Structure 1
């Protein structure tokens, strides 16, 4: 690994050197080898106070990892471990993007490959999700879906930068299908997905559908405004729901040109709660 990593570790762990914690090199080795199961296993051994710092550090470290050669013929091979292929191609795409402008031909090449693999992957996850969570699911199917979701967030941001709104929509649609296949029992994931589909539809000119998405978030999550501050301090999922409610309200009011005082009051209430939450959590 590049020499800069030691300095980054010292930056985020000033009181503990790299060698003093045996888990850090194991985690990074697992991530570099795309052995995510091992990475999670090692990550779970960290004490809670170390986990946030490690997440910050690992996001920085990714920028220093040299992309490895990929056998693209194997990426679409039947029976291959999808999450590894998605992760491998995703890291490669990000590494190429970090070193080139967004409109670089190589960047677009890997973005298109990642999109193709994601489309094949989401079909696989939908087929194998088995009615989850009401019915049991193979853990690898969940991991495949989660990996597709994460990397399509990167793809959506990339397509937004280059103003390819059709593929921005496609990436958000892939994420939405993943959420409703393996994450629909997490209400904040539903809020995120529905809000993002509103954005996606607005970018391709489907304003009526976008409004319906924003309205759905407002209808389903407005009751959270009746909760006391303590509820949010103890429930980070609720904090995420509050965020997407606020974003949906803002977009709905802007698109509709709404003078409805109820909606405007709800938006003001969201902002008040967010400020109080930040103050309480010292953010």
Structure 2
């Protein structure tokens, strides 16, 4: 791609990534085999911009963050998610896995305190690791979601029903628990109990809104 070539002699920006992604998403998936080198360069470009965002994020949310840096990070989240969703319907599992990783990493760089955003990206990355046979890393990702999200099962939703963000977090927790138990042959009793609680909350919420 002509625009990709023009990036070789400059430090890419989040704006450059958006242009690249917009162009890639226009490609007929049946023609992707013609763009192998471009896809590799796209991944390198996104990774380079992401590393810059992570360095400039200043330990956010524990510290303040420049608004432009946050916007760049949020743009990377949207773009890497779009690429993951685009590639996941192809036979290019290795590239899909890489975009899932970049989506999760982008999310954690500026939105690590937004569980409803972290959950889906981590689950996507974990499922791609599982699909590729890397169950060890998949379990690390699933367990990270479980550890950070299990407190949602202790909320008093009888007083205040879960909002959409909380439901999204609970759904991610539910998937992480199911997949973790599957990989561990259902031998973790604590996870089984937690899954029962999570499923119960989701079931009750669904019935209340039908």
TM over 0.5: yes
Is 1:86 aligned to 2:13, yes or no? no
The question of whether the paired residues in 2 share the 8 Å contact of 1:172 and 1:196 is answered with yes
Distance in 1 between the 2:10 and 2:81 partners?
A: 25
In the alignment, which residue of structure 1 is the partner of 2:178? 250
Residue correspondence of structure 1 range 1-283 to structure 2 within 5 A: 71-75=3-7, 78=10, 82-96=13-27, 100-102=28-30, 104-106=32-34, 108=36, 111-230=39-158, 233-282=161-210
May I ask how many residue pairs the two structures share in their alignment?
210
Distance in 1 between the 2:58 and 2:179 partners?
A: 35
The question of whether the paired residues in 1 share the 8 Å contact of 2:17 and 2:46 is answered with yes
- Give unmatched runs, 5+ long, in structure 1: 1-68
CA deviations over 1:154-178 (Å, ceiling 9, x no partner): 3223443334333333223222332
Distance in 1 between the 2:144 and 2:173 partners?
A: 10
Q: Report the CA distance between 1:90 and its aligned residue.
A: 1.6
Q: Report the CA distance between 1:232 and its aligned residue.
A: 6.7
Distance in 1 between the 2:189 and 2:105 partners?
A: 34
Larger RCO (CA within 8 A; separation ≥ 6): 2
Distance in 2 between the 1:111 and 1:180 partners?
A: 23
Distance in 2 between the 1:232 and 1:71 partners?
A: 51
- RMSD after superposition: 3.0
TM-score (norm 1): 0.62
Q: Report the CA distance between 1:228 and its aligned residue.
A: 3.2
Q: Report the CA distance between 1:248 and its aligned residue.
A: 0.3
Q: Report the CA distance between 1:112 and its aligned residue.
A: 3.8
